[in-house]
A and B are shown apart, each in its own frame.
Chain A
Amino acid sequence: MSLFLKSLKELPPFGQALGMVLDEADTGPGVAVLLPGAERLSGDAEDEVFHTGVILATIDNTAGWCIRDHPGYAEGTSMATLDLRVDFVTPASLRETLRVRAVCEGFDGDIAFVRATAETLNTKVLIATGQATFMLGTPSTPNPATPANALGDSLE
């Protein structure tokens, strides 16, 4: 695990709101994030399973972190998700904790490719697989010249 991740103090607000925690004891490959079940993450008040969107969000977040953990990544470089594909293999009970692992499989300074899996922490059941592509070096601050359009076109 890199110094970046060891010194990681700040989760994005949404990661914090969902309850994501970096798995600091993990030895790799890539980066692992834990997400304990909680009522607000439920997809159905009766079934008590993780909502698919929660799994997707954790995969998206972990994928971004594993790029920042890549040896070629220059600290401070901003990035944007271009696309994300997720297969929801098995519904996951909210009594479980999810572990999402993301591994950066390609990195060339402009683009990074990531694969991720989500499984239950204790029973090791595969919950979801994901594949994401990121663009690096996207604008990281609002453009003061054209505030109305700058953010909306940050990928263009």
Chain B
Amino acid sequence: MNKPVQAGSSSSSHALAQQQLIKMPYAVFLGMSLSVGPDGLETSTPSRSELIGNTNLPALHGGVIGSLLDITGMLTLVFLKALDQSPRLIDMDIDYLRSGRAQSTYGRAEIVRGGRRMANVRAVLWQDDPERPIAIGRLQFLLPKI
């Protein structure tokens, strides 16, 4: 069984998520960081020229937005279920709601249903206002075998 999240274990879950982040070269390349507050895990990614898809607007590349949803979902799963190995993303469905401007992007996720082998995760990204998301994602993860 996956280790359950125990009262008072938030700091060790935080450490597990942080370890997953730094051993993921692509997440480091994107410039992602994470923080844990009273409302749970939040990712933060500053904009830079390499992340742009449309130079006229300018707007973040759709692949950057998809990647931030993917990694935010994965890190949240690691955090909430205190996983010491990475879950594997099986499939993902993204709705692009607004164009991502060339500014910092924040992400959060929740486990819609966490089973023994699979977890269904919903992730959301925003920039200025959490009430105005730029994209949402539905993700299915296969959990690591224990």
A residues apposed to B, CB below 8 Å: 12-18, 39-46, 51-54, 56-61, 64, 78, 80-88, 91, 139-142, 151-156
Give residues of chain B (52-99) contacting chain A, Cβ–Cβ below 8 Å.
Answer: 52-57, 59-64, 66-68, 70-71, 86, 88-99
| A residues in contact with B99, CB < 8 Å | 80, 151-152, 154-155
B24 at the binding interface (Cβ < 8 Å) = yes
The interface on chain B, measured as residues whose beta carbon lies within 8 A of the other chain's beta carbons, has a size of 46
B26 and A51 form a contact (CB under 8 A): yes
B residues apposed to A, CB below 8 Å: 23-30, 49-57, 59-64, 66-68, 70-71, 86, 88-99, 101, 127-128, 132, 134
Given A12-B55, A14-B50, A17-B50: A52 and B89 interface contact (C-beta under 8 Å): yes
Q: Which 3 A-B pairs have the closest CB atoms?
A: A57-B63, A53-B67, A14-B61
| B residues in contact with A41, CB < 8 Å | 25-26, 29
Option from A15, A56, A140 in Cβ contact (under 8 Å) with B66 = A56
Given A12-B52, A12-B55, A80-B99: A85 and B91 interface contact (C-beta under 8 Å): yes
A60 and B62 form a contact (CB under 8 A): yes
Closest to A40 in B: B29
B91 and A42 form a contact (CB under 8 A): no
| B residues in contact with A56, CB < 8 Å | 63, 66-67, 70, 92
B92 to chain A, nearest CB (A): 5
A60 and B93 form a contact (CB under 8 A): no
B89 and A152 form a contact (CB under 8 A): no
A34 to chain B, nearest CB (A): 15
B93 and A53 form a contact (CB under 8 A): no
B26 and A40 form a contact (CB under 8 A): yes
A84 and B89 form a contact (CB under 8 A): no
A14 and B63 form a contact (CB under 8 A): yes
| B residues in contact with A80, CB < 8 Å | 96, 99
| A residues in contact with B127, CB < 8 Å | 152
How long is the Cα–Cα vector from A39 to B26 in the complex, in angstroms?
Answer: 8
Q: Pick from B23, B28, B56, B89 the residue with the most CB of A within 10 Å.
A: B89
Given A86-B92, A153-B98: A53 and B57 interface contact (C-beta under 8 Å): no
Closest to B92 in A: A86
B107 to chain A, nearest CB (A): 12
Q: Pick from A53, A142, A155 the residue with the most CB of B within 10 Å.
A: A53
